Amino acid sequence: MDERAALTLIDSWLPLAGDDAAVLDDLVISTDMLHETTDFPEGTTRYTAGWRSVGASLSDIAAMGANATAAVAVYAAPSFEEPEIHDFIDGARAVCERVGAEYVGGDLDGHDEFTVATTVVGDTHEPVRRSGASPGETLCVTGTLGRSGAALELFDHEPERANDLFQFEPRVAAGRAIAAHAGAMMDSSDGLARSLHQLAAASDCGFDVAGSALPIDECVHEVATDELDVYELAVHFGEDFELVFTTDAVETVRSLSPTPITPIGTVTDDGVTLDGASLPDRGYSH
Ligand SMILES: Nc1ncnc2c1ncn2[C@@H]1O[C@H](COP(=O)(O)OP(=O)(O)O)[C@@H](O)[C@H]1O
Ligand SMILES: Cc1ncc(C[n+]2csc(CCOP(=O)(O)OP(=O)(O)O)c2C)c(N)n1
Ligand SMILES: [Mg+2]
Ligand SMILES: [Mg+2]
Ligand SMILES: [Mg+2]
């Protein structure tokens, strides 16, 4: 069974699962695990690893339109070295500070492969779910697409720049601004294409995306090749951790959000298309 099939099963078993984070009354909670071989390319600093792993869970809180309150992380490695743990905690604290949350603790574990597990809690009175999109709404995305895909290509030759690109800003403030005006929302951890298929399934709708409207990050054009084209990096690769949402109040959310928001298409009755042609459900899968 692949990851998607397993998630569909879990979704049918657990009434509160199936969204970016679970919501109980006003409490919002999400957890994630990252591994050296699958998540931290060679050259990733411990600072970036701390930032990125806690940031990934903060992004799931942002995707509910919630405030992020506190984060904890498990740091598992073959050995505990003072500079490495210090850097990791600095990165975790820095990303929390960026969104007004607090890094409050965690756990250490001995493990052959460097592995991080994170949990973040937040709160909201008005959660935005994956299931609320309606045909006719405008489809929007925060920030730019493709930074992580481009970064992965840069780790070999420009590790400092790659680490910078890998330190994304979780869109908590934008999510708060969007919340009151959104139909549906999720983060784009598995890439725009896969996110749209997940939103379409949850909301029983479709999407038509205008390729020329996509806010593709400048660095994507720099690293794209014939084999690894711009759309592969910006639409399918994943780990953008931007918010993908639907709204009928584009100008309002644009005026409220501290992060630029780009309308990229419309909500339709069914099917996910890019410039009218079918957009395959291809993205990151474990
Ligand atoms: N082991 C598990 N037990 C319970 N729920 C799970 C498990 N794994 C995933 N889920 C649920 O499945 C949904 C999708 O998970 P995931 O794809 O990791 O979300 P995201 O991409 O936002 O991090 C979430 O609601 C999550 O809580
Ligand atoms: C060494 C390495 N290979 C590949 C990637 C790309 N990558 C790893 S996980 C992932 C998708 C998002 O991760 P996931 O664990 O699915 O996060 P979630 O959707 O649960 O938030 C991508 C694109 C990477 N970051 N590092
Ligand atoms: Mg998510
Ligand atoms: Mg996850
Ligand atoms: Mg994923």
List the structure tokens of 114: 């460097």
How far from chain centre, in Å, is Cα 84?
25
**pLDDT, position 164:** 98
**pLDDT, position 286:** 87
Ligand 2, atom 17: closest residue by C-alpha: 189
Ligand 2, atom 24: closest residue by C-alpha: 39
CA–CA gap between residue 50 and residue 114 (Å, rounded): 12
Interface confidence: ipTM more than 0.90: yes
Nearest atom, ligand 2, residue 32 CA: 20
Three-state DSSP class for residue 115: strand
Indicate the angle between helix axes 159-166 and 147-154, nearest 10 degrees: 160
In the chain the domains, ranked by start, together with CATH numbers, are 21-123 (3.30.1330.10), 138-278 (3.90.650.10)
Show Cβ contacts of residue 48 under 8 Å, excluding neighbours closer than 6 positions. 40, 91, 163, 166, 167
pTM above 0.80, yes or no: yes
Q: Is 46 annotated as a binding residue?
A: no
Q: State the ligand closest to the CA atom of 19.
A: 1
Rounded mean pLDDT of 114-142?
A: 98
**Position 74, amino acid:** V
Ligand 1 mean position to 21 CA, how many Å?
8
Among 4, 8, 11, 20, name the best residue to mutate to test ligand 1's pocket (greatest count of ligand atoms within 8 A of Cβ).
20
CB 41 less than 6 A from any atom of ligand 2:
yes
Nearest atom, ligand 2, residue 237 CA: 23
CB 240 less than 6 A from any atom of ligand 2:
no
CA–CA gap between residue 36 and residue 48 (Å, rounded): 12
**Position 235, amino acid:** V
Q: Where are the beta strands (DSSP E) in the chain?
A: 22-24, 27-35, 67-77, 102-110, 115-123, 138-142, 182-187, 206-209, 243-247, 261-268, 272-274, 277-278
CA–CA gap between residue 216 and residue 223 (Å, rounded): 12
3-state DSSP: the chain helix, strand, coil percent, rounded to 5?
40, 25, 35
107 class by beta-carbon count within 10 Å (0-12 exposed, 13-18 middle, 19+ buried): exposed
pLDDT digits (tens, 9 = 90+) for 166-201: 999 999 999 999 999 999 999 999 999 999 999 999
Q: For residue 285, what pLDDT band results from cuts at 50, 70 and 90?
A: confident
Ligand 4 mean position to 60 CA, how many Å?
8
